[in-house]
Amino acid sequence: MGHAIRLRTDVRDRLEGGAKADIRLCWTCGSCDSECPVNIATGMLRPQKIVRMAALGMQEELVCLPEVWYCARCRRCAQICPNAVKPSDLIEHVRAVAADRRKISPVTLNLFSELWRRFQRARWHAVAACLAGEDFGDLAEEQWRKWLSTSVPEHLGSIPRPSAYHLPDDLQLISDAHRLAACFTCGECSSACPVACERSVFDPRSLFRMVYLGLEKELLTMPSIWLCVGCQRCSDCCSQQVDGQRIISALQELAITSGAVDPYFRQRLEKAHRNLYNRFISEIDSLINDGKCLTIEASTDTRDREAQKVFSE
């Protein structure tokens, strides 16, 4: 027989205040569960459960819950919630409390950041494979490890320099609709973006610059435009009110409607993402439960060498 849960209103209020999330407004509709891409792919992350636990004041249990580390920070749960509960902000807050109270050690936290950075690389490689027409039935362990440890070459992430810049009509429309001309390349968007861990993998400021310079062919065929998780942090933080999230979403649409990517690309990408999220969650589990992380392969990448220093300490 299960034991009764005692409602801790004081803890709930603290969680609500800390997260700036209206936990009590949740009416358990489950929309967040249905929208969460990690939950869709794996069935392992239910934002509603986390909100309910917070509403009951179960902070002790929450800070030890591996699920809070599964979150892809896309904020779709917050965007879909009819009551503006913001489960994503609650998850961020629980992570901060767990770190603050040493429920997760600083070393594990570093390992987690490194895993997150490499996960974005793996996503880039998966998109590149999908763009090349590859269809994933299953993602082999060897392939996953290889993607995690293979840097994205810088030249693919740098901005090419044509002899003359010309803004094609469709890019002009995107630029005008989302105030791109007001961008003064301050880089706030890239600092706020949870996916922008390595410039060669994903950097919103560079993408916006490429739109401004009219580099349409490069943009529509590059894997990076498919890495955006749609969280809107770039749009929210921009002092010039450039709507970065909508720009990237418009680029994705244009890639499809212009035929730059084939009509089945999105299906292949969804399948690949299912595989990737399942792999990512397994890595988190072994990291949180056993303190073990992915093997760091020998690498010439400077950032990898820095990370290795952290691991060996």
Positions touching ligand SF4 (CB under 6 A) are 26-32, 35-38, 45, 47-48, 51, 71-77, 81, 83, 85, 87-88, 91, 192-193, 195, 204, 228-234, 244-245, 248
Please identify, using beta-carbon distances, which residue of 31 and 149 lies nearer to ligand SF4.
31
CB of 217 to ligand SF4, least distance (A): 21
Q: What amino acid occupies position 34?
A: S
Residue with smaller CB distance to ligand SF4, 89 or 218: 89
**CA gap 21, 17 in Å, rounded:** 7
Residue with tokens 């809070």: 68
Cβ neighbourhood burial of 172 (10 Å; 0-12, 13-18, 19+): middle
Q: Minimum Å distance from CB 262 to ligand SF4? A: 23
45 vs 296 by CB, closer to ligand SF4: 45
Minimum gap (Å) between residue 152 Cβ and ligand SF4: 16
Q: Which CB sits closer to ligand SF4, 149 or 198?
A: 198
Looking at the Cβ atoms of 120 and 149, the one nearer to ligand SF4 is 120
Q: Please name the residues in contact with 12: beta carbons below 8 A apart, sequence gap of 6 or more.
A: 23, 24, 54, 55, 56, 57
Rounded distance, CA 291 to CA 87, Å?
27
Closest to ligand SF4 by CB, 28 vs 158, is: 28
The two tokens of residue 127 are 């998109």
Query: Could you give the residue ranges of the DSSP H alpha helices within the chain?
Result: 9-19, 31-35, 37-42, 47-55, 59-62, 76-80, 87-100, 106-131, 141-149, 154-157, 169-177, 188-192, 204-212, 216-221, 233-237, 244-257, 265-290, 302-312
Residue 91: C-alpha distances to residues 9, 71, 174, 197 (Å): 19, 8, 33, 20
Q: Which tokens sit at 43? A: 């069935």
**Residue 170 and residue 216 in contact, taking contact as beta carbons nearer than 8 Å:** yes
| Closest separation in Å from C-beta 21 to ligand SF4 | 9
User: Of the two residues 129 and 234, which places its CB atom closer to ligand SF4 in the complex?
Assistant: 234
